[in-house]
């Protein structure tokens, strides 16, 4: 990811046009930079990068970031059945401002089966950021606002 691409994404994510809570779906193959993006974004918001790790094995990590609120980083890669998300107590995170979800397909399927929970979480804006590797080794990043 080039500095120019990263700065552009940060500007879009922190623009006044996004209304919290924001759901950010991060898609792409393993190792393409989804967690690195979250770490760099949080660092640009003044959060220590050393506090950000991949939630792959823990599934859900919480980060309280001044002026940004509670930011959740959820990784659904190891979720085999969307019902496993029940164990994470997602309904207890109604105050979260930002939800960063890697491998979001299972999370979205989970919410589709629980419309009342989706209504409670109240996502105002939804963003999809798709990461891919180009043949020359550079990353391609596509940003789509889905609200």
For the chain, give every domain's residue range.
3-12+20-145
CATH architecture of 3-12+20-145: 3-Layer(aba) Sandwich (3.40)
Residues of the chain predicted below pLDDT 70: 1-4, 15-16, 56-58, 147
**Given the structure tokens 């890697």, which residue do they identify?**
102
- pTM for the whole structure: 0.89
Instruction: For residue 75, give the nearest of 113, 125, 37, 119 by alpha carbon.
Output: 37
- Residues whose CB falls within 8 Å of the CB of residue 130, separated by 6 or more in sequence, listed in order: 27, 28, 141, 142, 144
The predicted structure's pLDDT at residue 56: 64
The predicted structure's pLDDT at residue 116: 94
């Amino acid at each position: 990811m080039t500095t120019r691409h990263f700065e552009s994404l940060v500007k879009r994510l922190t623009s006044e046009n996004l209304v919290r809570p924001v759901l950010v779906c991060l898609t792409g193959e393993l190792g393409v930079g989804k967690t690195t993006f979250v770490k760099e974004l949080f660092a640009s918001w003044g959060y220590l990068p050393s506090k950000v790790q991949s939630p792959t094995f823990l599934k859900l990590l919480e980060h309280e970031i001044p002026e940004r609120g509670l930011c959740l980083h959820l990784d659904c890669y190891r979720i085999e059945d969307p019902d496993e998300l029940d164990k994470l107590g997602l309904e207890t995170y109604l105050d979260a401002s930002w939800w960063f979800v890697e491998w979001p397909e299972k999370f979205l399927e989970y919410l589709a089966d629980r419309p009342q929970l989706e209504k409670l979480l109240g996502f105002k804006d939804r963003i999809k950021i798709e990461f891919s590797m180009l043949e020359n080794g550079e990353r391609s990043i596509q940003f789509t606002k889905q609200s």
